Amino acid sequence: NENAFQVVIPELSKRDSPGGVYLGVGPEQNFTYLVALQPKLAFIIDIRRQNMLEHLLYKALIERSANREEFLSRLFAREPPTGLGANPGVEALFEAYEIARPADELFQENLQMVKEQLVTHHGFSLSSDDLRSIEYVYRAFYNGGPNLNYSFLSGGRGGWGWFPTYAQLMTETDGRGAHRSYLATEENFRSLRELEGNNVIVPIVGDFAGPKAIRSVGRYLKEHGATVTAFYTSNVEQYLFQQNDDWKKFFSNVATLPIDGNSTFIRSVSNRGFQYRSSGAGPRAMPRLSAIADLLNAFNGGRMSGYADVIAMSK
């Protein structure tokens, strides 16, 4: 639902060189940052187990798809449109899939393929509940298609106003006219497919404020001489500041990560206030960047007491 998330990519690309380590939260918005930053390893940390399972669904579909057209056919369980040509633009690609009809037979075939790819090929130990959750997520893509959005499962009545569709998110630009989503070009998709094929996108079920997930990642990275170059937090920090001392626990956890002067937080900052309700179609939030070291210095120096301080240090 962060439709302006690409606008920081030009600046991010200046700060971060390929080959570092990326940390993130949430589902596919990470993919666009990954293809832009080209890390050697990525950890996606989210408190929701379903987010981890959604990443595994994506992993199977991406690994088994040779190109964007094939991937979208599998993701939405639609027959590939005809007449697109060898390398269609991202807008033409989604326009074609928006009018394609869902096919239950494809859904069932793809679901079975996903299970075989994850359980048989990769050997992941997934419970029956996990497999049902993967089917639940996949059915949302099947039912919603390219028009799937954040409020889809509530019939579009989420109470939070307008949400962009999947197609709109994938066809957004970086504010300078360049399409940078992971589906914008075949090159971007191949880059993501390579990362998935090399098993370097690692989804983790963990709490930003918990004692284990971030600290375990930090220990692993230090043992292997790796450095975090980017940490996408979405709007999670906003909630941590509303939960007693969770924000302090989070920044204490971040302090255990190996960073350098270029290590950068990517966060989503609401344009409209936490309790805002609107039917407008403008950006609900804008991404902002800040040096991780600067935030930690402010935290350790007692110069941080609220979320407003975090926003003030973000550009």
Q: What is the mean pLDDT of residues 174-180?
A: 94
Which residue, 124, 142, 171, sits at the end of a domain?
171
For residue 36, name the pLDDT band (cuts at 50, 70, 90): very high
Pairing of the two strands 228-234 and 21-24: parallel
Which residue, 171, 196, 220, sits at the end of a domain?
171
Give me the domain span that covers residue 235.
1-47+186-315
Residue 160 lies in a domain: yes
Q: 208-238 pLDDT, tens per residue? A: 999 999 999 999 999 999 999 999 999 999 9
Residue 75 lies in a domain: yes
Q: Over 90: is that where the pLDDT of 159 sits?
A: no
Tell me, what's the pLDDT at 14? 86
Helices (H), the chain: 9-15, 29-37, 49-63, 68-76, 90-98, 104-115, 128-144, 166-170, 186-197, 213-223, 236-240, 246-254, 292-300, 307-312
Residue 247 is part of a domain; what is its CATH number? 3.40.50
> Rounded to an integer, what distance in angstroms lies between the CA atom of residue 76 and that of residue 98?
10
Tell me, what's the pLDDT at 149? 87
Tell me, what's the pLDDT at 2? 75
Which residue, 111, 139, 171, sits at the end of a domain?
171
Q: What is the mean pLDDT of residues 2-7?
A: 87
Tell me, what's the pLDDT at 256? 98
Residue 84 lies in a domain: yes
Task: Count the alpha carbons within 13 Å of 285 in the hemisphere toward its beta carbon.
Answer: 21
8 Å CB contact between 28 and 164? no
Output the CA–CA distances (angstroms, integers) from residue 53 to 134, 199, 204, in the order listed: 6, 15, 10
Q: pTM, whole model, 2 decimals?
A: 0.92
Q: 244-258 pLDDT, tens per residue? A: 999 999 999 999 999
Q: Over 80: is that where the pLDDT of 272 sits?
A: no
- Same domain (yes/no): 86, 167: yes
Q: Tokens for 295?
A: 């935030």
Residue 180 lies in a domain: no
- Same domain (yes/no): 119, 208: no
Cβ-in-10-Å burial (0-12, 13-18, 19+) of 75 comes to: buried
